[in-house]
């Protein structure tokens, strides 16, 4: 299965805090953005998007918030749009 990579750097909205208290150990968890593969059933493909979550160094837990989930959803939708655009271009070039 091919992996579609979405180029570009994610823009963190101000409402997404860079740091959050870890719900597990109470230490500070940092906002981390990294590439992650997601399988999208709608297009039967894996897409690679910027995935944002919080990671705690003290207890190694990671978690998301409503705000970071929103960002991730937007990234995935952007990935799907990019993929569909690529498909269209390939059809035109054939």
List contacts with Zn ion (CB under 5 A): 22, 24-25, 27, 56, 58-59
If the CB atoms of residues 64 and 82 are measured against Zn ion, the closer one turns out to be 64
Q: What is the rounded distance in angstroms from the CA atom of residue 67 to the CA atom of residue 88?
A: 32
Please say which residue, 55 or 82, places its beta carbon nearer to Zn ion: 55
**Sign of the four-CA dihedral 47, 15, 23, 60:** positive
* Euclidean distance between CA atoms 61 and 40, whole angstroms: 25
CB of 32 to Zn ion, least distance (A): 13
User: CB of 61: closest distance to Zn ion in angstroms?
Assistant: 5
Which of 27/69 has CB closer to Zn ion?
27
Three-state secondary-structure class, residue 69: helix
């Amino acid at each position: 299965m091919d992996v579609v990579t979405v180029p570009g750097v994610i823009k963190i909205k101000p409402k997404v805090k860079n740091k959050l208290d870890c719900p597990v150990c109470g230490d500070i968890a940092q906002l981390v953005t990294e590439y992650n593969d997601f399988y999208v059933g709608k297009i039967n493909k894996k897409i690679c998007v910027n995935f944002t979550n919080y990671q705690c160094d003290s207890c190694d837990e990671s978690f998301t918030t409503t705000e970071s989930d929103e960002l991730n959803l937007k990234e995935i939708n952007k990935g799907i749009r990019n993929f569909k655009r690529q498909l269209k271009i390939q059809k035109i070039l054939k």
